[in-house]
Amino acid sequence: MELKRVVVTGMGVLTPLGNDVPTMWDAMVEGKSGIREIESFDHTKYRTHFGGEVRNFDILTFLDRKEARKHDRYTQFALVSAKQALDNSGLDLDKEDRDRIGVIWGSGMGGITTMEAELMEYGRSTDGVPHFNPFYIPKSILNMAAGQISILFDLRGPNFATASACASSSHAIADAFNYIRLGKADAIFTGGSDADITYSGIGGFNALHAISTRNESPETASRPFSKSRDGFVLSEGAGCLILEEYEHAKARGAHIYAEMVGAGLNADAYHMTAPNPEGKGAAKVMQMAMEDAGIGTKDVDYINAHGTSTPLGDIAELKAIQSLWGEDAYRLNISSTKSMTGHMVGAAGAVEAITTVLAIHNGIVPPTINHEDGDEDENIDYRLNLTFNKAQKRDIRYAMSNTFGFGGHNTCLLFRKSE
């Protein structure tokens, strides 16, 4: 069968850099950091005192108090970003067949805020009787954001959730892409959200020795591809894209930001938390995305790297790129926008896919910030253009977004400039 074309027509975000797409993008182009000292709980007994919180977020500007209490923070993020994307798309749902519009949403941790609060409350009980909120289970489960978006907008098409740690929202986007190009939907709200800056979120990642402890300088703690990197920075947020079938979008006169042309999905099958040190799975998944799109390495201009600022992950990803591109790797622009946003876990892939689309649409490569002269790792080839510290203008034909998750889950999403 002939596959249908898929385009991006709407986007919405909540991030440490701003609570809408224009604010986030402007901050990225300027090379700003969204990482600050944690404000939501007492962090003083933890090794890490900072993170990428979504600030100035008030769900009561979107939902009434009674309704808001039914939703975990990660679901609240999802609902707001989805409404932004809908408004941005110009899609008039009253004129659409809602049986052909779906929601596919990813999350790495789901309702961890609710789960933590309920268990802490239970632990404080003195009468031995289990007291739990009746909304405890529906607020906590990973699929609820997808369900609540569909309920909010009466969307009756494909609806489910993806869970693959840091790759969750990229898997959601890949699934949405495939459903549309197979003709099973006209449009899909897709992306992901997470709200993991909690007692157990910070504590758990501290126990893994996975996150940075650069408490003296939070803004510079996320430093991908630098020798002094000491772990990723935990963040929270949401990103929503509206993917739409090309002819459907064209018929309604939609503004098209970019076209999605390929996706690669595979597994490292190597380790619970560490990547294959040679980047074999990462190299294969990028190759798969290009084969899916029918293009080669010479066509790609920009890679939005997974680039978490971990000692092993950064090196493995760059090895993967060099093994595929060879000498052509030096003409690529590569950057990690996690240097500015931190790592939003289940929202990371969606926000970085949006960033990749914006890079194509605006002809600007956002930077990898926090790299200092002399802070060079002997394991990294610095002839690569890692777009350090300053955005660069570039006409981008094809760009890819990499996301790799604990458990060895690898994803690569490929976009091109709209014609």
Give the pLDDT band (50/70/90) at residue 202: very high
Coil/strand/helix, residue 367: coil
Coil/strand/helix, residue 54: coil
- CA torsion, ordered 183, 170, 326, 373, to nearest 10 deg: 150
The pLDDT mean for the chain works out to 97
CA distances (Å), origin 306, targets 56, 232, 266, 317: 27, 11, 15, 8
Return the structure tokens found at 397: 């034909």
Known catalytic membership, residue 166: yes
Among candidate residues 166, 361, 371, 409, the one labeled active-site is 166
Known catalytic membership, residue 306: yes
Q: Return the number of other C-beta atoms located less than 10 Å from residue 267's C-beta.
A: 14
pLDDT value of position 124: 84
Return the structure tokens found at 131: 């007291």
Among candidate residues 171, 306, 371, 409, the one labeled active-site is 306
pLDDT value of position 125: 81
Tell me the pLDDT tens digit for each residue of 276-293.
999 999 999 999 999 999
CB 35 within 8 A of CB 233: yes
Domain boundaries, the chain: 6-416
Amino acid of residue 231:
G
Return the structure tokens found at 312: 């092993």
Residue whose structure tokens are 């609820």? 144
Q: Which CATH class is domain 6-416?
A: alpha beta
The secondary structure of 123-135 as a DSSP string is: HT-SSS-----TT
Q: Among 273, 401, 400, which residue's Cα sits nearest to residue 348? A: 401
- Per-residue pLDDT, averaged over 133-137, amounts to 95
Q: Phi and psi for 255 in degrees, rounded to 5?
A: -80, 125
Q: Return the number of other C-beta atoms located less than 10 Å from residue 123's C-beta.
A: 7
Q: Which helix (H) or strand (E) is 84 found in, with range?
A: helix 73-89
Among candidate residues 343, 361, 371, 409, the one labeled active-site is 343
Tell me the pLDDT tens digit for each residue of 371-401.
999 999 999 999 999 999 999 999 999 999 9
The neighbouring-strand residues paired with 241 are 11, 190
Q: Does pTM surpass 0.85?
A: yes
pLDDT value of position 217: 98
> Up-side HSE of residue 25: CA atoms within 13 Å toward CB?
20
DSSP label of 5 = P
The neighbouring-strand residues paired with 392 are 365
Tell me the pLDDT tens digit for each residue of 38-71.
999 999 999 999 999 999 999 999 999 999 999 9
Tally the residues of the chain: 419
- Percentage helix, strand, coil for the chain under 3-state DSSP, each rounded to 5: 40, 20, 40
CA pair distance 144, 141, nearest whole angstrom: 6
